[in-house]
Each structure stands twice: as structure tokens, then as C-alpha cells.
């Protein structure tokens, strides 16, 4: 159950961050509200996850997966450059999250 809650927190963060991109500096109402709602839900679900998972592991997964997903969304859907350095960085983030999870998720 804790991984499902954490996945929901990650998804909400992705929605919040993507909405923030479209809010144009919080000058557009609906994307701004989407960003705020996304982060409220993300933090609420992350807080629930922390009841049953260590903070280091949960935060590493939440922030790493969110970072990797947002970077990939930027490259695939928003026209951001997909350089070798960015892709290598994404792979390192994912590898780091996996290693932290293997060492502390039990």
C-alpha cells in the first residue's frame, strides 16, 4: 500500500509541475490552480507514505522519480533538447533511486 500512495504522490507532483509550466509564472488561473492542487495532493500523499516508510527512502524515490519523469516529459513533449548528458543524468538519477531503495526499503 505504501508504494501505491507514493506512486500517487509522484503522479500528483508531475501534474503540479507540468501545470506550473503552463501557468506562465502563475499568470493563468487554471494551470496555477492545477499546480497548487497537484502539490497539495503530492505532499499529503507523501506524508501518508512516511507513516510506513523511512523518510530517506521515500523522499529519494519521490524526488528522483518526479525529476526523471518531468525531465523526460520536457524532452518528449515540450521540445526540450534530449542531449547525451541529459539522458545520462536521468539514468544516474534512476540508478541512484534504485540503489537507495535496495538498501533501505525493507
Q: Compute the Cα dihedral for 38, 44, 48, 49 and give only its sign.
A: positive
Q: Which grid cell is 75?
A: 524532452
pLDDT score recorded for residue 105: 53
pLDDT score recorded for residue 106: 53
pLDDT tens sequence across 44-99: 999 999 999 999 889 999 999 999 999 999 999 999 999 999 999 999 999 988 88
Q: Which grid cell is 62?
A: 519521490
pLDDT score recorded for residue 100: 81
Q: Which grid cell is 17?
A: 509541475
Q: Which grid cell is 56?
A: 530517506
What is the residue whose three cell numbers read 507540468?
18
Cα–Cα distance measured from residue 32 to residue 61, given in angstroms and rounded to the nearest whole number:
25
- Range 27-60 burial, b when 16+ CB lie within 10 A, else e: eeeebbebbeebbebbeebbebbbeebeeebbbb
Cα–Cα distance measured from residue 80 to residue 54, given in angstroms and rounded to the nearest whole number:
34
pLDDT score recorded for residue 101: 78
Residue spans of the domains in the chain: they are: 2-104
pLDDT score recorded for residue 57: 87
Amino acid at each position: 500500500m505504501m508504494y501505491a500512495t507514493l506512486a500517487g504522490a509522484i503522479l500528483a507532483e508531475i501534474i503540479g509541475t507540468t501545470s506550473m509550466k503552463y501557468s506562465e509564472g502563475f499568470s493563468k488561473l487554471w494551470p496555477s490552480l492545477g499546480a497548487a492542487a497537484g502539490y497539495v495532493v503530492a505532499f499529503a500523499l507523501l506524508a501518508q507514505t512516511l507513516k510506513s516508510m523511512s523518510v530517506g527512502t521515500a523522499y529519494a524515490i519521490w524526488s528522483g522519480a518526479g525529476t526523471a519523469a518531468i525531465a523526460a516529459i520536457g524532452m518528449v513533449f515540450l521540445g526540450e533538447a534530449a542531449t547525451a548528458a541529459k539522458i545520462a543524468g536521468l539514468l544516474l538519477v534512476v540508478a541512484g533511486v534504485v540503489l537507495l531503495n535496495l538498501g533501505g526499503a525493507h
